[in-house]
Amino acid sequence: MNPSNYVILSAVLFTIGAVGVLVRRNAIIVFMCVELMLNAANLAFVAFARMNGNLDGQVVAFFVMVVAASEVVVGLAIIVTIFRTRRSASIDEPNLLKY
Amino acid sequence: MNTFPWLTALGVLPLVGSIIVALLPKSRPSLAKQLALLIALATLGLTIAMALQFDGGSAEPFQFTESYSWIPAFGISYSVGVDGIGLVLVALAATLVPVVILAGWNDVEGDSSKGSGSVKGYFALILVLETLMIGVFSATDLFLFYVFFEAMLIPVYFMIGRFGGPQRAYAAVKFLLYSLVGGLLMLAALIGLYVVSANLTGTGTFDYLSLVGLDIDPMTQRLLFAGFFIAFAIKAPLWPFHTWLPDAAAQSKPGTAVLLIGVLDKVGTFGMIRYCLPIFPAASVWYAPVIIAMALIGIFYGAFVALSQQDMKRLFAYSSMSHFGFIALGIFVFTTIGESGSVVYMVAHGLSTAALFLTAGFLMQRRGGSSMLGDYSGVNKAAPVLAGFFLFAALSSLALPGLVSFVGEFMVLLGAFQRYMFVGALATLGIVITAAYVLRVYQKSMTGPLASGLEGMADLKGREIAALVPIALLTLVLGVFPAPILNVINPAVNQLMTTIGATDPPTTLTTSTSAEGTLQ
Amino acid sequence: MINAGAVVWAEGAPVLQEVMPATGVFSLIWLLIALPLFGAAVLLLGGRHTNKWGPYLGVLTVFGSAVIAVLMLLGLMARGAEERSIGQSLFTWVFAGRFEVNMAFQLDQLSLVFVLLITIVGTLIHIYSLGYMSHDPDKRKFFGYLNLFVGAMLLLVLANNYLLLYVGWEGVGLASYLLIGFWQIKPTAAAAAKKAFIINRVGDVGLSIAIMVIFVTFGSVTFSDVFGQAGSANEGTLTAIGLLLLLAAAGKSAQFPLQAWLLDAMEGPTPVSALIHAATMVTAGVYLIARSNAIYDRAVWAATAVVVVGLITIFMGAIIGSAKDDIKKSLAGSTMSQIGYMIMAVGLGPIGYVFAIFHLLTHGVFKAGLFLGAGSVMHGMKDQVNMRRYGALRAAMVVTFVTFMAGYLAIIGIPPFSGFWSKDEIIHAAFERSPIIGGLAILAAGITGFYMTRMVAMTFFGKARWEDDVHPHESPAVMTIPLIILAIGSTFLGMALLFWGNIETWLEPVVGFATAKSPISTTTTIALSLAFVIVGAVIGWISYARREVPIVAPRGSWLTRAARQDLYGDAVNESLVVRPSFLLSRVLIWFDSRVVDGIVNGSAAIVGGSSGRLRRYQSGFARSYALSMVGGAVFVLLALVLVRLS
């Protein structure tokens, strides 16, 4: 199978993720979209590794997975804390970090 | 040669001292002062011991050299050494620090307003500054020089910003920003110089002596020169980069002002003579007319602004600006007498500034810190000793013959006259305005009937006199017998003249037919 | 016309003397200067501990110098004429490149006469001051400053090069500044002191630049090197040097156009006026020009300028002296005028140098006597200086009166008093040069007769116009003895120097001497000048001794009013120099804070303002940040693609 299809798929997934981050308000969904973008990138890395015939892309993919896992831990914790104090998971509400 | 690491020892001593002073308990301020004074005096003693070992006739470009590799990947090393010019400036710094400590003994006492620092902090900062000043005058690696040059800002920023007058924050930030702008330009030029040296020799270096030997093409020279020069012109300060100085001087403690103007600003003129001229000789000649014009404007501009200035500290700052014009003039006329005179002038100006600011500081302390001329009158009646020192400082500032400032000023003017007759003659007119503004200050503050509120004003006490006497003595002795400094300055200047390939114009009588002295 | 006598100049020029090493008493040249300076240092630094004996130390140090000077005179007289120039070098003072100046002294016939004048008159005035200043709380400082002056003045005349001379030159200026402002609690005194210093600095600029030209031309500033090569320099350069030195001389000697400070300088104590502003310091300009004769002899136009400046000042001083009611200011005008004679005489070249110095010596003695006499009068009149408040004092102060009369007869030039011989020689030399100069000199002598008679008449004759609580009395012996000695000098010094001392042959090796044919004979000159003087004196006598002198000065003619205003010298300085300078100063202060600093603060304000606007974009909405991130990423991507494509 042509590896470039994987790249196209990865681009589509990335775009879906990016649009999701921009348009959705629920923090959980935004969060999932971020994960989607990360995994789209992973897919691209693996595809490039295949295309180039070396292992560099796969190694990076592992790194991304580790980062994604850490990010989930921290991010979910923050979301839960915000939800506890504000009784809402909308990301438009906590806008105190300005000016 | 002896192997004792003189310069490193000189630099480390005050640094260690400052750490100890800073670690002392806050409740014992007098111990901090005494220790600081002791360290400063020890440093002075070490400097004198070093200066006595200096060999004026040596053919080496630098003495007391040390060199250790620091960042070999970029050709950066910790190398220090002094020539005659560096030596007298190191000596100047080492002389003024104990004087300032002694004079500023009670300056930061009871200053418990918000945001101001502790007594020990002030003295620790002075000692740190001494280390950096010694470092900046003795670095022979440009990167090391740059590090010292920028690091000096830190203690001075705090000395102005935490221990100064009501507008101290403004003055400190202005000083910092001005200096940083200059510093960044210099950093860019420094990196450029490194790249050029890498291109020319294959291996990049920051070593001064290797850089002096480089044959850089004129266009590049001009660009790099500008980077260095603007940094130095801000530090010196030359017109029109001077407006930070009056604010900084007016807001800082007298002692800070002395170190700032007396020593720190000399880094600017020292940089011109040590780095701009030898590394970029062609660019120096190319820029010389512009710089001489700036110097001339500065001489008269500073003097005229000082003429009707009401605030004494600002007045002295502008007078310093005028004097820096003379120093820069001497440097950029490329005559032996001019260069030598400039260095003497730097020393003289350090001493006369110290005398002026400290005496004025003692005066202001007796009237709640007011520096307005209008608040003083007839002080001579109440405090004749103070008035006497003030007059001496004023005379030293107007370069009375017999004092060291005259030696410097006359040599600068003569050097300028030798190269450009009209420039020299024009600059000489400056001495009249100098006399006018200096004597105006004396007349307004010291003569006439005693101002109300000054009755029963105390004359100078032992500690204050002890701080002023060494300065006065040096001013007088070096004015009558300047050989001790000329003997070390002249060989360095001769070497500089050879390096930049300039020769003095011949006397018109002996060689009226042969060519004029050359610059290149 | 005025240059008619120029031909004689080259002939009279002296051959440069060989400088002998300093041996015997001459090895003490440095001590001449060091003694008074030592006294000054002890008195000024010693503080109150020296109050009691300090003034005596001050007198002793100057007296010590005077003794050494007399010994040196005897030593020089014992030597042959060609061995009378002695040099002593202490150490190298300033050096860099080809520039090398030694701390070195030169004692020759010219410096020695100055040294004698300074130390002997100086000693007398120091002694007089013991009495005059006895009640002053700052007496110690006064003697300290006087000693400083004597030391600096001796340095000025003993220096063997121009740069060291400059040190003395400004040193005496400093002493003069300190002493004019001695009673600095009076704002007028402090202002007068500052004015004197600043105007002198204008002259010093001339000296500074002259030294530079000299170095650039000759490669040395030592007298012997410069004068030895003067012949090979071109005339333009020599003229420039001459004019610059003239500017310096005009500053120090209160000559036109830098004359304005001398009248104000009378704010100082009277002994100061006698020593500094009459006998010694103000004659330094004459010394400078006479010393530089090798230059002026070869620069005709510079010498002519010297004559013109001298002539203008002779008349300015005489006119001012005729109108002032303040006895000291009247004497100051007279000093200006008499120094004008000397300056004019040195401008005449070898026919005049010797007589200028001759007149300088006699004037130094009789004018010191006159000033001290005026001081004695003031001492007895509760420091009153207005002559309209004097009158009929001859009976109350006999010694002062008699000694003052000796000075009076000397200054107006009645034979055989000393001023007659010296002034007459100058007038004669002026005729040798040109009848116009000679005629003007004689006319001025007539005015001298007028104003001096006016002064004597108003002070010692006529009716008493004293204020009520004033009881004139003779001064103590410590003051009258110097007066008597100076009066003896005023009477006999002229004859002594001319007939016994042979002043022409004494000075000739240094300054040169020549005579030229005069259009009128010596006898005619004497007769003419005596006639003018007597006419002037008679007019003065009739107007001020025979008639009642009003206590309030009458309005007077326009010339009198102008003279009372120092011929508007101050007004000119004020409107041409002082006010424009301060205006410029204020403009520059404005410019500095608004424009130069304005640009700096303006750029700071621009940065601050734009950052204030930019921070609005920090809205707090996480999704708008995300959008800008995406926008940025897309932008970078597009840019990359575009670069790739092109």
- Which residues sit opposite C222 in a β-bridge? C161
Q: Nearest-CA distance from C634 to chain A in Å?
A: 12
- Give pTM, 2 decimals: 0.88
Using alpha carbons, select from C532, C555, C542, C334 the residue that is nearest to residue C441.
Answer: C532
- Distance, CA of C269 to CA of C645 (rounded, Å): 95
Kindly provide the ipTM of the predicted complex, given to two decimals: 0.91
C-alpha dihedral sign at C322, C323, C326, C332: negative
Q: Given the DSSP bridges, would you call strands C20-21 and C86-96 parallel, antiparallel or unpaired?
A: parallel
Residue B113 burial (10 A CB sphere; 0-12, 13-18, 19+): exposed
Q: Do the Cβ atoms of C621 and A18 come within 8 Å?
A: no
Question: Quick one: closest CA in B to C163, which residue?
Answer: B401
* Structural domain for B134, as ranges: 6-54+61-500
- Does residue C123 lie in a domain region? no
Q: How many CB atoms lie within 10 A of CB A60?
A: 17
Residue C629: its chain A contacts at CB < 8 A? Answer: none
Question: Quick one: closest CA in A to C621, which residue?
Answer: A95
Q: Which of residues 373-412 of C touch B (CB under 8 A)?
A: none
Q: Nearest-CA distance from C541 to chain B in Å?
A: 41
Q: Which among C616, C618, C621 has CB closest to A92?
A: C621
Q: Which among C190, C218, C586 has CB closest to B443?
A: C190
Q: Which of residues 210-249 of C touch B (CB under 8 A)?
A: 211-213, 215-219, 229, 232-233, 237
Domain count, chain B: 1
- Does residue C634 lie in a domain region? yes
Given phi > 0 = left and psi -120 to 50 = alpha, else beta, which region is C487? alpha
Q: Do the Cβ atoms of A92 and C616 come within 8 Å?
A: no
Q: Could you tell me if C547 lies within 8 Å of chain B, comparing CB atoms?
A: no
Tell me the pLDDT band of C276, cut-offs 50, 70 and 90: confident
Chain B touches chain A, with at least 3 Cβ pairs below 8 Å, answer no
* Structural domain for C632, as ranges: 593-645
List all chains that touch chain C, counting a touch as 3 or more CB pairs closer than 8 Å.
Answer: A, B
* Residue tagged 């002779």 (tokens): C314
Q: Do the Cβ atoms of C620 and A95 come within 8 Å?
A: yes
- Distance, CA of B110 to CA of C161 (rounded, Å): 55
Residue C299 burial (10 A CB sphere; 0-12, 13-18, 19+): buried
Q: Could you tell me if A91 lies within 8 Å of chain C, comparing CB atoms?
A: yes
Q: Could you tell me if A41 lies within 8 Å of chain C, comparing CB atoms?
A: no
Q: Give B66's DSSP letter.
A: E
pLDDT tens-place values along chain B, 520 residues long = 457 888 999 999 999 999 999 888 877 888 888 999 999 999 999 999 999 988 887 888 898 989 999 988 888 999 999 999 999 999 999 999 999 999 988 877 655 555 556 788 889 999 999 999 999 999 999 999 999 999 999 999 999 988 888 888 889 999 998 999 999 999 999 999 999 999 988 888 899 988 888 888 999 999 999 999 999 999 988 988 888 999 999 888 888 999 999 999 999 999 999 999 999 999 999 999 999 999 999 999 999 999 888 899 999 999 999 999 999 999 999 999 999 999 999 999 999 999 999 999 999 888 877 888 888 888 888 888 999 999 999 999 999 999 999 999 999 999 999 999 999 999 999 999 999 999 999 998 888 888 887 777 888 888 899 999 999 999 999 999 999 999 999 999 999 998 888 888 888 775 444 334 444 4
Tokens of C159: 């220096």
Q: Nearest-CA distance from C249 to chain B in Å?
A: 16
Q: Do the Cβ atoms of A21 and C616 come within 8 Å?
A: no
Q: Do the Cβ atoms of A98 and C627 come within 8 Å?
A: no
The domains found in chain A, sorted by start residue, are 1-84 (1.10.287.3510)
Domain count, chain C: 1
- Distance, CA of C520 to CA of C376 (rounded, Å): 42
Question: Quick one: closest CA in C to A17, which residue?
Answer: C630
Q: How many CB pairs under 8 A join A and C?
A: 27
- Does residue B514 lie in a domain region? no
Q: Do the Cβ atoms of A21 and C626 come within 8 Å?
A: yes
- With a CB cutoff of 8 Å and minimum separation 6, the contacts of B160 are B168, B171, B172, B175, B248, B251, B252, B256, B260
DSSP assignment of C603-629? HHHHHHHHHHHHGGG--S-HHHHHHHH
- Does residue B518 lie in a domain region? no
Q: Do the Cβ atoms of A99 and C615 come within 8 Å?
A: yes
- With a CB cutoff of 8 Å and minimum separation 6, the contacts of B481 are C91, C93, C103
Q: Do the Cβ atoms of C166 and B401 come within 8 Å?
A: yes
Q: Nearest-CA distance from C598 to chain B in Å?
A: 10
- With a CB cutoff of 8 Å and minimum separation 6, the contacts of B378 are B446, B447, B448, B449, B450, B451, B454, C185
